[in-house]
Structure 1
Amino acid sequence: MELSSVCCPGSNESMAPTLLKGRVLTRASVQRGGDTVLEYLIKTTNGPVKVEVHNQRPMAFCHSDEVERILTGVAQTEAWAQPLTLQSFSRQPVHAVYCRTGVMLKRLVSRAQELDVALYEADIKPEQRFLIERFVALDAEFYGYFDASDPSRFVASRVRAASEDISLKAVSLDIECSMSGELYSVGVFGDCEPKVIMVGEGDGVLTCHRDGLDHRVAVEWAADEVSLLLSLQRWFLEVDPDILLGWSVVTFDLSLLWRRAKHHGMRLCIGRFGKPLNWKVEDKHRPETLDLPGRVVLDGIDWLKAAFYQFDSFALDRVAGELLGEGKAIHNPDDRGEEITRLFREDKAALAFYNLTDCRLVWDIFQKTDLIHFALERARLTGLEFGRVGASVAAFNHLYLPHLHRAGFVAPAMQKIPGPDSPGGYVMDSFPGLYRNVLVLDYKSLYPSIIRTFLIDPKGLVLGLTEPEAMSVEGFRGARFSRKSPILPKLVETLASRREEAKANQNGPMSQAVKIIMNSLYGVLGSRGCVFHDYRLASSITLRGHEIMRTTKAWIEAEGFQVIYGDTDSTFVWLGNDAQNARATGCALVEMVNRRWQQQLHDDKGLECFLELEFERHFEQFFMPTLRHSTEGSKKRYVGRYDNGDEKVLVFKGMEQVRSDWSPLARRVQYELYRRLFQQEDLLEYVSDVEKALFAGEYDNELVFQKRLKRDISQYTAKSAPHVKAAAALVSATGDSSRGKRGASISYLFTKAGAEPLGYLSQPIDYDYYFDRQLMPILEPILAVLKVNYQKAGAEQLLLI
């Protein structure tokens, strides 16, 4: 469906129209006089091309009977309306309201708010709408003309989705600078010749002696900071990368490069076709405000989180250590500012090696995790800009809107007074204790399966509430969903099919991208930041989940087994201490439950069942703790051991073992306690030995906490957080204000004076704190189940005075 007309002013009629296929890297809309021009920087098999689409008007929808109020006093050349065969969710006809400029649309939005008139879809940018209305995501085929005077410019009139294998050039970039921000060097690594551009003079290749080896680094020298920026600008022109990788590359590296260029009165033209690095919002240097035409920037931290990787710390040194088994090429990564300045003054070869190593580590992490492929697949699935992280609501809109329009509706406006919250996932009361032979049975993609099975759909809710009951499916809290052409269930079906195809083709990034998008659907419908939010939609998913989990429990217990816990989509079944063939029993239970759901939903509701219970795991040993100082069972916390064929594996859920706010000693001791518990080895003697060693100072190196500041210490309203107190003490002790800045890593211990920074302790370590507040909370749940007491020997008996 075309919502606006397209023409190509300035097209060279002497040239034959042609098709241009490419991968869309960046999108924008610009004003040229009275014309809104969409600009797409795309990569083709023959290189980058700037595609322009003219006369695409910013637009919104409003009820037809409100058009006159909205446009009263507005010149027809600035904004005008056109009737459409579409309606709102309140079943009223709508007009499309077109504006000559984006500024005019913003004025109409403000006016609509003053008049209390609803404008629909006013937040959809024209460069996005043009693509998503035509189901174009990442790869596109444009129809139009090349500009005879500029072969890199293509003026398009139409576009459609394409499938094109376009190779992209990626480069990892990292900068080194002084504590006050002056640039020392810039390193690049990846699909290019690795090198470092550095302020100074010397040989073209430097040799760094490290770990008994000689490491050679190509260096391009720059006379000063301005020369370095100009050299970097030339490098971008010559190498012309499509993708920039880095670690905090937007908020630190690109932000600092822009600020240093501004300091010298320069524009840093490192975008495609000589476009400058810029920001859409002044003084807001974030990924969503970055303006770098033709280049996609992927930050390692953001994309690891988007792919659901978890680390105690996302510092490059820590992540590289866990994923690659190596770290930064510097002696003290946590206090690297002074060390970098020292290297710049005294050992530029070592600094060049360090700079390039950081680039390589980022590159290797992206290669190891296949994050570039993951980012591509996510863009291909959602229609979001390649490189845009997060944005679940926008992804939902991009998937849903074109289908909604073709069904004859426009999206609703944001609710002024949202309804009540929907309940969360089902969590049953647990039966605490130490068990043998516990099965975990999981529903595969439970919430997407509920959406698909019970036809949960925003448009379906609008129709279902006005249809006869026989034509709809009952939801919860008054919801009914039409059986006629539901949109969201079909989208889930398509996504599920894509995931199975990805699994069959061993396409891990695509499989993971689909899984994340499918699982985000409920969260989007439950989010008050989404225009489709309706508590009846979200409740019809979660409360149906509650019903499914309770019914599953009843069916399994009718077979003679005890369900000891259930959480959202997982059911924990105790088979008894002497169970044989646990896997076969689990598979039989799964088959029984799935068969009964299929039969029941078919007979009672006339629905096809997409619920699928799966056998997840057999825990040979399983421990469900009580709440602290209580006999009541905990929730979302357990430890289990299973046999993977090669070794016995311990799984910790919600325990201190998986939390970064517990000391390394606490986590190590907890692991060993449960290993001994499941092996039926002595516990009390081990705890006694740990206590003695702790108070004797033998574990001091395992007592250090480490945490990063999320903002400057001056911006914390509550100074009670231990790491904030330690940071303030560190700044006071060193006189270095950078130690209290956002992102600073704080290492600290608990002493008799409270939290104090490592290296600046005023009091002895408080071993009582570590034993009472770190070790005893770990030990007590086990002692409670075993009905055993442990008496602390006391620090005064163990300290050597």
Structure 2
Amino acid sequence: MTISSSQTVSGRILTRQLVNHSGELSFHYYIKTQSGPVLVKVPQGEYVCFCSTEQLSQLEPHLRLLKVRVQQLALKSFANEPVSAIYCRSSQSFRQLTRTATDLDVRLFETDIRPEHRFLIERFIALDVEFIGEYGLNIPNAGQPKSVSSMTNLAVFNATRARKSDIDVNLKAISLDFECSMSGVLYSVGLYGKTAGEEYKNVIMVGDASSISADKVVDYIHWVEDEKALIHKLIDWFNEYDPDIIIGWAVVTFDLALLYRRANFHGIRLYLGRGGTELSWKVADKFRPETLSLPGRFVLDGIDWLKAAFYRFDSFSLESVSRALLEEGKALPSGEKGVDNRGGEITQLFNTDKAALAHYNLTDSRLVWDIFDKAELFAFAIERSRLTGLELGRVGASVAAFNNLYLPHLHRAGFVAPAMATSQGLESPGGYVMNSIPGLYKHILVLDFKSLYPSIIRTFLIDPKGLIKGLSEPEADNVAGFLGAQFSRQSPILPELIKTLSEHREVAKAESNSPLSQAIKIIMNSLYGVLGSRGCVFHDARLASSITLRGHQIMKQTRAWIEESGYQVIYGDTDSTFVWLGDKPIEADSISDIGKGLVVDINKKWRQKLTDEMQLKSYLELEYESHYEQFFMPTLRGSTEGSKKRYVGAYTDEQKQLQLVFKGMEQVRSDWSPLARRIQAALYYKLFSKLDVMAYLQEVVNDLLEGKLDEELIFSKRLRRNIEDYTAKSSPHVKAAKLMCEYSGEQRHAKKGARVEYLITLNGAEPTKYRQAAIDYHYYINKQLAPVAEPVLTLLDKRFSDIASKQLSLI
């Protein structure tokens, strides 16, 4: 059949690769189309970087040897030097070029942009794409077993051009979870998903059906002879079910890493990618999301993506998160308490009750799926990639996201990115934090500037390219920043990007598209952080300071205007202003009107001020955020000076119930005991409700000394590094972890990420499971209860020592 050479294929980019075949580079994009997956090949790929045309002569003798091509362009560096592009046809020549340039002290620009990414971002392609070219023949990978190659009938499209597309494609996902022995031998793999509302359940289990009784037989268990057969069965399953997305809990660092190690042990090649490609790692023994290679499929880890979406939990274990979000936990027969001995119980189930193990395995997979669904993480990941051009599944990477958004506009404006950050070691100040006026207040209004830093960027035309242009133009024509910055008014890039993102966010909010709205908010707020990071080549203290110091100026002026209106500002932090309405009685119905009136007045003043003084349109938008009926701003411990970033506010909800909001207090810090956090919340509730605080504290201390509250004294903290890497060996959780290793004989308790549960005893910190000495109740009274009680008691002119000494004297 003759195929036209002007065919097109549209789809969603799943993965992207740079492939070197017979010395030729090509870009491979696995895309999902409405009719299935397609491998798109773009031939004649090249590495691209830039060099000052003046310095190019130093490289010329080497360029001839490297067989690269050079083209002079109508582009300039930030030093206003003409630049030329250097194109390399192989990874080897590009590496040699960068080494040679370093040796000769020749600056190269944009060497960190991967060519397969550059091909897309230069065309403003982020996620959805249309390729122009023609279909080719699929050639199975050499070395594939017949069972795999027979399933890799993947369409191949040879492309010559590409452009942005608005296609919408449904992606197929699976939640994957392995169960194994304490030594890592695979017992089973649970696979769970939903398609069009229909559940998919599958557990591949080592064993046979005769190992379970007839009343426990379920149709989702598929039996295999041994671990080796399990791995082969999973490879077949991947090619048959053909998912686009794999999700799980620590799915990369644990599940896929474990699978890879066990496959290596048996000499099995993991043909889990599309087209029969292998799962592999770009860096040996570094099992991290950024080193995983799985062509045609992408992986989303529940922990990483919850953090990326700014969810916060005391613990990110599946048990803790599923109970917090779903009010459901793991399906261990022993219940919630069995989680602490999960490894031992799993082995016991494998030996005695495989049906229960299969149910547990599948439940874990389902819980992950339900968390993704509840937190809208699938949609969030898609929208983030669509906005930034980052690969699906890639978390973090704020600098890369900034480059993807900024570089194509910068090139069209006639510039290339700098080779390195301008301000090496010179830092910009942080957000403005006002000195607080401590005390107990009634009627505090919180007024927030909506997206303050993005609004400052947009209003004051803060832009890397605008800074370079502004410094070469007459000051009178520019917008003055800080530290000598001058910003051009002509075609700024970053303010326009902020404008576009802001408009998209308003549409997303109007359409109740919370994943898109949240993704845009996070991206907008990250733009300042990127400019303030020395890891970004655009970092310049003049840029970052022109944002933060302008924020200081805005907060101070806003405070002055509010106080001119007759109200007192008791605190301010970055973008929030706390306004006290005073001692005079106020009608409840009028409080909202006061807040809204202040917001209208301040926004009007900013519009007028910026028009008159700087000829700028104001995008600053103060909003009436909340009203606290009662509010407590504490002092610094041992001082009369007001604290910062610490307060407690109280309001009445729609059900007429008193609700408390804690900021920076022990209540919201995981390094305090559950008892301290519970008691602090109760104390402020009683304070604001005018209940007896002293009687309550006396009862708590008495129960503590009688051992009734021992379960609430357990500290839980995760090791942030391996024990041997800690310098402060006296840290209680580090000491407890060392004892855990000593008593259990298991070194896993000393590894980064291990959670340590411990008590403070008469011998100091001891692991809960291996406690030897009696609990040190004096410590909990003096170091846990006293600090949270004293601020409240001071307001009542009472002392915690009166309660403690009375109770201790009875021991």
Provide the TM-score with structure 2 as the length reference: 0.94
Q: In the alignment, what sits opposite 1:693?
A: 703
Q: In the alignment, what sits opposite 1:255?
A: 257
Kindly tell me: are residues 216 and 766 of structure 1, through their superposed partners in 2, closer, same or farther at Cα, counting changes over 3 Å?
farther
Distance 2:340 2:392 in 1: 33
Q: In the alignment, what sits opposite 2:83?
A: 94
Distance 2:555 2:572 in 1: 7
Q: Is the 8 A contact 2:14 2:297 kept in 1?
A: yes
How far the C-alpha of 1:797 sits from its partner, in A, is 5.2
Find the residue that maps to 1:484 and give its secondary structure. coil
Q: Is the 8 A contact 1:639 1:652 kept in 2?
A: yes
Q: Which amino acid aligns with 1:630?
A: S
Q: In the alignment, what sits opposite 2:624?
A: 615
Q: In the alignment, what sits opposite 2:309?
A: 307
Distance 2:754 2:114 in 1: 37
1:196 aligns with 2:196: no
The farther-off stretch of 410-419 and 305-314 is 410-419
The farther-off stretch of 316-325 and 329-338 is 329-338
Kindly tell me: are residues 575 and 98 of structure 1, through their superposed partners in 2, closer, same or farther at Cα, counting changes over 3 Å?
same
Q: In the alignment, what sits opposite 2:509?
A: 503
Distance 1:366 1:444 in 2: 28
How far the C-alpha of 1:477 sits from its partner, in A, is 0.6
How far the C-alpha of 1:420 sits from its partner, in A, is 1.3
The farther-off stretch of 644-653 and 405-414 is 644-653
1:452 aligns with 2:458: yes
Distance 1:164 1:339 in 2: 48
Q: 2:117 aligns with which of 128, 147, 151?
A: 128
How far the C-alpha of 1:731 sits from its partner, in A, is 2.1
Distance 1:21 1:265 in 2: 38
Distance 1:103 1:800 in 2: 79
1:634 aligns with 2:637: no
The farther-off stretch of 61-70 and 726-735 is 726-735
In the alignment of these two chains, the number of paired residues is 785
Q: How far does the alpha carbon of each residue in 1:484-507 deviate from its partner, in whole angstroms, 9 at most, with x for none?
A: 000000000000000000001110
1:549 aligns with 2:555: yes
Q: Is the 8 A contact 1:696 1:800 kept in 2?
A: no
Distance 2:214 2:514 in 1: 39
Q: Is the 8 A contact 1:196 1:217 kept in 2?
A: no
Q: Is the 8 A contact 1:374 1:510 kept in 2?
A: yes
Q: 2:155 aligns with which of 152, 157, 166?
A: 152
Distance 2:81 2:684 in 1: 63
How far the C-alpha of 1:678 sits from its partner, in A, is 0.7
Q: In the alignment, what sits opposite 1:470?
A: 476
Q: Percent identity?
A: 58
Distance 2:502 2:3 in 1: 48
Distance 1:159 1:573 in 2: 54
Kindly tell me: are residues 634 and 540 of structure 1, through their superposed partners in 2, closer, same or farther at Cα, counting changes over 3 Å?
same
Distance 2:246 2:106 in 1: 44
Q: 1:749 aligns with which of 752, 759, 770?
A: 759
The farther-off stretch of 598-607 and 782-791 is 782-791
How far the C-alpha of 1:15 sits from its partner, in A, is 3.3
Find the residue that maps to 1:75 and give its secondary structure. helix
How far the C-alpha of 1:796 sits from its partner, in A, is 9.4
Q: In the alignment, what sits opposite 1:705?
A: 715
Q: 1:288 aligns with which of 290, 308, 323?
A: 290
Distance 1:203 1:609 in 2: 74
The farther-off stretch of 141-150 and 443-452 is 141-150
How far the C-alpha of 1:360 sits from its partner, in A, is 0.5
Find the residue that maps to 1:142 and give its secondary structure. strand
Q: 1:432 aligns with which of 420, 434, 438?
A: 438
Distance 1:656 1:797 in 2: 24
1:734-745 matches, cutoff 5 A: 734-745=744-755
Q: In the alignment, what sits opposite 2:661?
A: 651
Provide the TM-score with structure 1 as the length reference: 0.96
Q: In the alignment, what sits opposite 1:376?
A: 382
Q: Is the 8 A contact 2:789 2:800 kept in 1?
A: no
Distance 1:207 1:279 in 2: 43
Q: Which amino acid aligns with 1:55?
A: Q
Find the residue that maps to 1:414 and give its secondary structure. coil
Q: How far does the alpha carbon of each residue in 1:168-215 deviate from its partner, in whole angstroms, 9 at most, with x for none?
A: 00100000111111111111001363111111111599889xxxxx79
Distance 2:291 2:272 in 1: 16
The farther-off stretch of 643-652 and 697-706 is 643-652
Distance 2:623 2:88 in 1: 53
Q: Which amino acid aligns with 1:64?
A: T
Q: CA RMSD in A?
A: 1.8
Q: Which amino acid aligns with 1:374?
A: F
1:29-40 matches, cutoff 5 A: 29-40=18-29
Q: How far does the alpha carbon of each residue in 1:272-313 deviate from its partner, in whole angstroms, 9 at most, with x for none?
A: 111111011111110011000011100000000000000000
Kindly tell me: are residues 313 and 799 of structure 1, through their superposed partners in 2, closer, same or farther at Cα, counting changes over 3 Å?
farther
Distance 2:772 2:539 in 1: 54
Q: In the alignment, what sits opposite 1:582?
A: 591
Distance 1:694 1:79 in 2: 76
Distance 2:217 2:559 in 1: 62
1:100-119 matches, cutoff 5 A: 100-119=89-108
Q: In the alignment, what sits opposite 1:356?
A: 362
Q: Which runs of 5+ in 1 are unaligned?
A: 1-11, 209-213
Kindly tell me: are residues 624 and 417 of structure 1, through their superposed partners in 2, closer, same or farther at Cα, counting changes over 3 Å?
closer
Following TM superposition, the consecutive aligned residue runs of length 4 or more in structure 1 with deviations greater than 6 angstroms are: 204-208
Q: In the alignment, what sits opposite 1:335?
A: 341
Q: Is the 8 A contact 1:455 1:489 kept in 2?
A: yes
1:624 aligns with 2:633: yes
Distance 1:794 1:149 in 2: 79
Kindly tell me: are residues 18 and 698 of structure 1, through their superposed partners in 2, closer, same or farther at Cα, counting changes over 3 Å?
same
Q: In the alignment, what sits opposite 2:148?
A: none
Q: In the alignment, what sits opposite 1:3?
A: none
Q: Is the 8 A contact 2:423 2:539 kept in 1?
A: no
Q: Is the 8 A contact 1:438 1:572 kept in 2?
A: yes
Q: In the alignment, what sits opposite 1:174?
A: 177
Find the residue that maps to 2:780 and give its secondary structure. helix
Q: 2:126 aligns with which of 127, 137, 146?
A: 137
Distance 2:508 2:260 in 1: 40
Q: 1:161 aligns with which of 159, 164, 168?
A: 164
Q: Is the 8 A contact 1:279 1:291 kept in 2?
A: yes
How far the C-alpha of 1:55 sits from its partner, in A, is 0.9
Find the residue that maps to 1:266 and give its secondary structure. coil
The farther-off stretch of 71-80 and 127-136 is 71-80
Q: Which amino acid aligns with 2:792?
A: I
Q: Is the 8 A contact 1:334 1:745 kept in 2?
A: no
Find the residue that maps to 1:437 and give its secondary structure. strand
Distance 2:363 2:33 in 1: 32
The farther-off stretch of 260-269 and 431-440 is 260-269
